[in-house]
Structure 1
């Protein structure tokens, strides 16, 4: 049996989109489907080349095939309409009819393409059901199909679960459920807006567990997103340590939790003591904030802080969050490359220091 690699390096999922990629996925791009797939394929080659040149052990396609991260659910199921959010004018995918399967395997096709290009471990990402309920259910537009938001969330579960099964069959190494909604409940101000915040957090965990429990043959991860990406866009800054949701986190049926610890107000790493010992941690130890490049020494120091509570075998190095906070975000790909190179070098130093 091959010896487990200590301190493997990974991305969360998304990578910055260059301007030509943003143009390719825009609604007014003048390309046929075949031409789009050809050009985007070249872009995915470049995305992968950057990650492999940096030396990452776990790679993704940067989520470049997707026009919208959570909007990908509309590729998997009928029942949605593309609208405009009256709050900010941005595109808004909203549920308006009962869900039914549409194109199972859409995300699995992303992995099938990437597998042709690399022999490294591949991560694929899916949105959490409760997140979809928070973002894609509207009281006025959705209530005819789903008078209750939670009923919509529950109908998302079999759609996402089927996609994870297809990803497993495609040979993906890691499937990651991204759940920034669950992490909102670390914030006292957010909790005050709910009659029973613990029940709402319990529901999010239950839905995640229904999505992943009992699926074997892949590593199942949950990204406990602290909205670092949102802060990069200048949006709400939700603060608070993980303590208020530790009971919920301990009930997640995941093999791996990715947790942010760099952004202000993220709390202390001693919460790791409370997690089940079989759970691996994807440690947010590299800033995804534009303009902030952590040195190798800084990254190593952050990991060594986590080693006070975790065995080396449980730690994967990764950025604090995705590098592309929104499809239109202006983030330097060259800067990200430097950050990933530093992450990889930190992993090497840690292996040299703690390898057996």
Structure 2
């Protein structure tokens, strides 16, 4: 039986809340409300500042009543490139402009040789987080397909070959994170919402390679992106129904991934698509990260009620749609409070009806 921090999952709190990943960084560490913001500190001050920010982020989550906590991605500039920076075979000085997820152009580093990992990337940070709390902790890693979509490949000349190499590297990192006490390892795969043929031909298989041999819980986070203009503009082109999840869900249901993390609140995703993954645990995004408007607890509860028609209560994890790094800390904290309060409304309803 898999456990959360050595406690059987069957004994865990009903509807445990979580976040999809990033939370805003304090202004003394990086530029607020900005992705890829450069650090404001250097050397030992930066190391200490990152850990101070991690502690603050954890405290914000705890005060808001979040059940499965994370580092808020305080020690990394970006959810993909910070991991890649620590690998061999990628030249960050040799840059090319590519279209990321068929959506927006960006200057990215180049794969110039065989990719490999000399040492762990996040394990020391994960150990630090583990020392700060006895709550279950979740750690996010970029997924193989999203990693290849954030690079220019001048070596393998094959998206699939490069993805398999990244899957092996991610598996090494994931096993060390598990040993450091991480309860849930999440792989961020927004690319799963775009490259449907590749997802089904080899993307999910690569993801299963990345989780091979893990005993902790595993999750895949598939969203429609941060609340930045490129993503919100793209969403406007998707019509009145967003059925992208329909492409990957059947194969994901058969996969070894334990939890599927999704965007549900204020989206045009038909909730009935969750029926395609019935039996899986689902992190239901009940907080919109593309607006500063604070959800009411009842709005959160309403999203969860809709999801409960297709997800069993013991498999539903209330969550945010995506990371909240581009938001202000004040807004993000208020949204976390709303998430907890909305989940508590549903817990009471479930208790009253049982």
Q: Per the shorter chain, which TM-score range?
A: 0.7 to 0.9
Q: Is the 8 A contact 1:222 1:258 kept in 2?
A: yes
Aligned position for 2:219 = 221
Aligned position for 1:110 = 125
Q: Is the 8 A contact 2:300 2:339 kept in 1?
A: yes
Secondary structure of residue in 2 paired with 1:286: coil
Q: Render the CA deviation track for 1:301-352: whole Å, top value 9, x for unaligned.
A: 111111112221010100111112xxxx3x2110111111111111222111
Task: Give me the TM-score of the superposition, normalised by structure 2.
Answer: 0.85
Aligned position for 2:162 = 152
Distance in structure 2 (CA, Å) of the matches to 1:243 and 1:204 = 15
Aligned position for 2:22 = 14
Out of 241, 244, 249, which is 1:246 matched to?
249
Q: Is the 8 A contact 1:131 1:179 kept in 2?
A: yes
Distance in structure 1 (CA, Å) of the matches to 2:38 and 2:262 = 34
Secondary structure of residue in 2 paired with 1:198: helix
Out of 328, 335, 340, which is 1:332 matched to?
328
Out of 321, 345, 348, which is 1:352 matched to?
348
Distance in structure 1 (CA, Å) of the matches to 2:37 and 2:278 = 44
Matched, 1:343 2:339: yes
- Cα RMSD of the aligned pairs, angstroms, is 2.4
Matched, 1:124 2:139: yes
Q: Is the 8 A contact 2:262 2:283 kept in 1?
A: yes
Aligned position for 1:134 = 149
Note closer, same or farther for the CA distance 1:64–1:85 as it changes in structure 2 (3 Å cut): farther
Q: Is the 8 A contact 1:272 1:309 kept in 2?
A: yes
Structure 2 unmatched ranges of 5 or more: 1-7, 99-103
Matched, 1:97 2:107: no
Q: Is the 8 A contact 2:232 2:290 kept in 1?
A: no
Q: Is the 8 A contact 1:15 1:62 kept in 2?
A: yes
Aligned position for 2:285 = 284
Shift of 1:280: 0.5
Q: Is the 8 A contact 2:250 2:277 kept in 1?
A: no
Aligned position for 1:167 = 177
Task: Give me the TM-score of the superposition, normalised by structure 1.
Answer: 0.85
Aligned position for 1:207 = 206
Aligned position for 2:101 = none
Tell me the number of residue pairs that the alignment of Structure 1 and Structure 2 aligns.
330
